């Protein structure tokens, strides 16, 4: 395991990535919102998976600072799969041989409902107050709606308060701001892995904060009742490991419903994790961006804001956004809920860099206010469509004999393709991922989520039936060895093939 440097990094190979408590192969989960891939050719022998951007910029012709080069490198390396997709996007009529994207976690099932609602005449309101500098916490009318909305949908025991709300342009920004105001540079958050890999960048790029992974196993052992189960014992061990390495852990990040597992935590589990954090004086950042995307109603999701009593309310900070639950990742609306007014104010101070338009604030207030539409139109239809799509993909995987976590929340299925790797290595995982991409279907590989077992993949199912069918057909072709590389591959594909064989 490598040490976290005290000062600003000079090169990523000395500092990036979560701190492993398990061995020397710690590395970073790449990401972007559309976490897909990195260039497999950029790696260092001593730290598998960690690329070396300095090689690309050895002559420093870029005129960037060293951290600027790291920031750019994250973009370049994480964009490969997504860039290939954007250059060759599947379209039923215009580009039927294009790439089907089962990698990016977006809900594409309800644009009809959303377009209709957002096009209504109540959505376009232009008042002078909306065109002037706002309160950087967000306009009061919006914070009031957010408080009402969260009180209702999180089933809070008492009404939530507008003064505890800060709105901003998405949860990526919120991770960045919270990391900066809660941690010193070089300090860390605990997080259970596999996890949504983009968080690595969100806390690092501006905040220079690291992640300490609590690596979870697929094997069910000891007290576990399910694969990849998080327990207080594992949290304690990871914290001790970090401590013994001199890494200062300042908080714990919980994702509920979990991405990529689809797990939801029981109230008892939540309380145990929160008590663990309280005992150690740790902040808890609870990411609940999929809370309304629990399509299996019987599961009984519990928001952390539904708990009767928080063990340490001054250190408990909740995030939610419309990106996932309202299928609008391009709208850029997220919110913090915290009782800690100092944290709220410090985040608000950074919100001059994360602000959203007054016109959008008005639109979001109207949307969140419309419980009739949400309850009677949007949520029932969205859940039904998610369930149908999940059922289809789950059925396909079953037919292929592929083990997977069969959950009822989120947009994705965490699938076990380990038997398709000739060797249990991340190189082989990457090669399999490239075979999928060559066969025009984009998935997300487990390494992007810091999964410690090579061979797990995340498949996003929240898409229209015809794209799912085609995507799953292409997945099947690869796994059954019947795929055919297109006769006339476009430039990007040829480039990737070269990369692949280097």
> What part of residues 144-173 is at the interface with its own copies (CB under 8 A)?
169-170, 172-173
Does residue 279 bind its own copies (CB under 8 A)? Answer: no
Coil, helix or strand at residue 63: coil
Residue placing its CB nearer to its own copies in the complex, 67 or 383:
67
- Cα gap 108→110, rounded to integer Å: 6
Q: How far is the CB of 398 from its own copies (least distance, A)?
A: 30
Residue placing its CB nearer to its own copies in the complex, 127 or 219:
127
Which helix H or strand E contains 434, and what residues bound it? Answer: helix 426-438
Of 1, 44, 181, 377, the one binding its own copies by CB under 8 A:
181
Instruction: Give, as ranges, the residues between 348 and 377 that touch its own copies (CB under 8 A).
Output: 348-350, 352-360, 363
Does residue 385 bind its own copies (CB under 8 A)? Answer: no
Residue placing its CB nearer to its own copies in the complex, 19 or 178:
178
Phi, psi (deg, nearest 5) at residue 143: -65, -35
Residue placing its CB nearer to its own copies in the complex, 77 or 231:
77
| Other beta carbons less than 10 A from residue 360's beta carbon | 18
Six-digit token string for 452: 């410690």
Does residue 108 bind its own copies (CB under 8 A)? Answer: yes
Instruction: Give, as ranges, the residues between 323 and 352 that touch its own copies (CB under 8 A).
Output: 327-333, 340, 342-343, 345-346, 348-350, 352
- Cα gap 492→481, rounded to integer Å: 23
Determine the Cα angle at 401 with ends 400 and 406, to 5°.
105
- Number of residues lying near its own copies (CB under 8 A): 87
Does residue 434 bind its own copies (CB under 8 A)? Answer: no
Q: How far is the CB of 466 from its own copies (least distance, A)?
A: 15
257 prior amide bond cis, ω within 30: yes
Mask: binding to its own copies, 234-263, rule CB under 8 A, as x and -?
Answer: ----------------x-------------
Q: What is the CA radius of gyration of the chain?
A: 22
DSSP 326: T
Give the binding range for its own copies (CB under 8 A) out of 73-81, 261-269, 376-384, 412-420: 73-81
Does residue 424 bind its own copies (CB under 8 A)? Answer: no
- Cα gap 16→26, rounded to integer Å: 9
- Cα gap 101→329, rounded to integer Å: 15
Does residue 118 bind its own copies (CB under 8 A)? Answer: yes
Backbone torsion region of residue 60, taken as left when φ is above 0, otherwise alpha when ψ lies between -120 and 50, otherwise beta: left
Give the binding range for its own copies (CB under 8 A) out of 107-115, 211-219, 397-405, 477-485: 107-115
């Amino acid at each position: 395991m490598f040490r976290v440097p005290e000062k600003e990094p000079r090169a990523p190979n000395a500092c990036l990535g979560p701190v492993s408590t398990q061995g020397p192969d710690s590395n970073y989960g790449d990401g972007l919102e559309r976490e897909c891939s990195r260039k497999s050719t950029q790696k260092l022998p001593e730290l598998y998976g960690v690329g070396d951007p300095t090689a690309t910029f050895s002559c420093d012709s870029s005129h960037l600072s060293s951290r600027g080069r790291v920031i750019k490198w994250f973009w370049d390396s994480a964009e490969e799969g997504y860039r290939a997709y954007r250059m060759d996007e599947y379209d039923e009529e215009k580009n039927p041989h294009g790439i089907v994207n089962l990698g990016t976690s977006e809900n594409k099932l309800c644009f009809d409902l959303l377009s209709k609602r957002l096009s209504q005449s109540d959505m376009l309101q232009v008042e002078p107050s909306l065109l002037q500098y706002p309160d950087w916490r967000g306009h009061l009318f919006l914070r009031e709606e957010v408080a009402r909305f969260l009180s209702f949908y999180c089933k809070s025991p008492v009404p939530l308060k507008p003064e505890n709300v800060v709105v901003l342009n998405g949860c990526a920004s919120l991770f960045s701001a919270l990391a900066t105001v809660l941690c010193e540079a070089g300090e860390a958050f605990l997080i259970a892995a596999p996890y949504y890999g983009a968080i690595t960048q969100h806390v690092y790029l501006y905040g220079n904060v690291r992640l300490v992974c609590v690596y979870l196993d697929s094997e069910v052992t000891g007290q576990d009742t399910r694969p990849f189960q998080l327990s207080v014992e594992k949290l304690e061990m990871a914290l001790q490991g970090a401590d013994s390495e001199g890494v200062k852990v300042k908080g714990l990040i919980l994702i509920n419903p979990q991405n990529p597992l689809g797990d939801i935590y029981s109230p008892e589990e939540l309380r145990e994790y929160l008590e663990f954090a309280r005992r150690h004086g740790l902040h808890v950042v609870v990411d609940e961006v999929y809370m309304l995307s629990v399509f299996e109603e019987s599961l009984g999701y519990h928001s952390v804001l539904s708990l009767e009593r928080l063990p340490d309310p001054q250190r408990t900070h909740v995030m939610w956004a419309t990106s996932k639950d309202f299928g609008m990742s391009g709208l850029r609306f997220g919110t913090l809920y915290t009782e800690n007014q100092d944290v709220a104010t410090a985040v608000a101070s950074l919100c001059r860099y994360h602000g959203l338009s007054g016109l959008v604030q008005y639109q979001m207030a109207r949307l969140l206010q419309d419980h009739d539409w949400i309850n009677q139109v949007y949520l029932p239809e969205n859940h039904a469509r998610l369930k149908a799509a999940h059922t289809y993909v789950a059925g396909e995987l079953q037919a292929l004999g592929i083990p997977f976590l069969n959950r009822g929340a989120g947009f994705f299925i965490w699938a076990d393709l380990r038997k398709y790797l000739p060797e249990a290595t991340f190189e082989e995982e990457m090669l399999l991922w490239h075979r999928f991409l060559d066969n025009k279907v984009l998935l997300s590989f487990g390494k992007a989520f810091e999964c410690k077992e090579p061979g797990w993949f995340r498949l996003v199912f929240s898409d229209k039936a015809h794209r799912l069918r085609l995507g799953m057909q292409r997945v099947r072709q690869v796994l059954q060895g019947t795929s055919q590389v297109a006769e006339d591959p476009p430039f990007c594909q040829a480039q990737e093939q070269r990369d692949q064989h280097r």
